[in-house]
Structure 1
């Protein structure tokens, strides 16, 4: 049986990515490889080499197409400042890779049909899944899959909607769960598990401080990494 490790929202945090403790047969990535963090070049190179399934996140799209028109006012200052940095250090090959990523993908493993997208099938880059149980049916109407894999919120989630498993592995590189622990998920033998681990946050913070970002941007990004809160 294939062992899948599923990650999302790495956000250029190479220290967290290379500390991933789980061995796997396949690594799947649900988008947002870049932005917010100090090492986008290293993260994209890692994913290009090791991941077998990758979908595009909103930050990947923004960097690849120089388009941040749908970022929320709340996150625009930190997103825009780090987008400029990210664009300056990625190679043209890496930018082309981000542009070429699909916004949705499907794959079958061990008799299960997986649907991968960064946000929601109805809005792959920016959608938010329902907070009310009764609205899930309409959100997933027409989707043919056994398992829906999503990211974007930075919050781990595992639930069943009708006969479909819905899984969000949380954020590997910028957790927002009230802790600095990096999050991911494992699927094997039809069993799904949300997991987390410690990584050297201080190393990522040190690299972030080297970027000479505007002080308010740097302070907010450091606080998110250290506290897991926004």
Structure 2
């Protein structure tokens, strides 16, 4: 089975539509559907229409429950500003959808055990990055609240694609669909093969100019928001 892994859409409908065209048998979304982009409602509806299992990210949580997203300082003012826009766009059913998203999903497919969450096994705010020390990751894995009994840990949140091995555990981050932060402007996703256990990281061109035009037409801090997409960070 080919599982398409997507994360950190951030209301970028064009990027989401593009990655969903990748051949797959199933899709799993690791959260952060909303904030920063112009189409939070349409992204939610597309995920709902396709019945895509989706986890709750820190931005989904902030929008749903009107709390701090605890994101990085560099972009936090944009997150706060676009949240007001997002609340103005979403209807009650879409807010309730965000509120009901789970924090963790455990799957066993073709004998492969997967632990899926937005950020880390113990927090939707905690980053696992390529440079995160092994010791710090081990502390996240042994937290008694959410022990990771799996061969594969699948996360998003950093917006940086990664495949990393830590002992017998393989950590997979598909990167960001709609807000890449690694200097590559293309939409990120990954395909996990449950038969082989192999993962392919993908980058796809999408209609970035169309998204930027909508941002400039509708949203506060438009120059900053469009600039992030055009730089890829």
Q: TM-score range by the shorter chain?
A: over 0.9
Q: CA deviation at 1:74?
A: 2.5
Q: CA deviation at 1:72?
A: 4.1
Match of 1:4 in 2: 3
What is the CA deviation profile of residues 39-64 of structure 1, one whole-angstrom value per residue up to 9, with x for unaligned ones?
00110001112243211001001111
Q: 2:74 is paired with a residue of what secondary structure?
A: coil
Match of 1:140 in 2: 141
Q: CA deviation at 1:70?
A: 2.8
Match of 2:225 in 1: 221
Contact 1:27 1:51 in 2 (8 A): no
User: Higher mean Cα deviation, 5-14 or 109-118?
Assistant: 109-118
Q: 1:19 is paired with a residue of what secondary structure?
A: helix
Q: CA deviation at 1:71?
A: 3.9
**Separation (CA, whole Å) in 2 of partners of 1:193 and 1:160:** 15
Q: CA deviation at 1:138?
A: 2.8
**Separation (CA, whole Å) in 2 of partners of 1:149 and 1:212:** 32
Tell me the number of residue pairs that the alignment of Structure 1 and Structure 2 aligns. 224
Alignment gaps of 5+ in structure 2: none
Contact 1:27 1:50 in 2 (8 A): no
Q: CA deviation at 1:171?
A: 0.2
Contact 2:31 2:56 in 1 (8 A): yes
Q: CA deviation at 1:205?
A: 0.2
Match of 1:181 in 2: 186
Match of 2:158 in 1: 153
Which of 157, 169, 177 is residue 174 of structure 2 equivalent to?
169
**Separation (CA, whole Å) in 1 of partners of 2:152 and 2:4:** 14
Contact 2:31 2:60 in 1 (8 A): yes
Question: Structure 1 runs of 4+ off > 6 angstroms?
Answer: none
Contact 1:150 1:168 in 2 (8 A): yes
Q: CA deviation at 1:75?
A: 2.1
- C-alpha root-mean-square deviation of aligned residues, in Å? 1.4
Q: CA deviation at 1:212?
A: 4.2
Equivalence map 1:53-92=2 (5 Å): 53-68=53-68, 70-92=70-92
Q: 1:38 to 1:169 in 2, by over 3 A?
A: same
What is the CA deviation profile of residues 19-52 of structure 1, one whole-angstrom value per residue up to 9, with x for unaligned ones?
1231211110001001100000110001112243
**Separation (CA, whole Å) in 2 of partners of 1:176 and 1:51:** 28
Contact 1:28 1:51 in 2 (8 A): no
Q: CA deviation at 1:164?
A: 1.2
Output the TM-score relative to the length of structure 2.
0.91
Alignment gaps of 5+ in structure 1: none
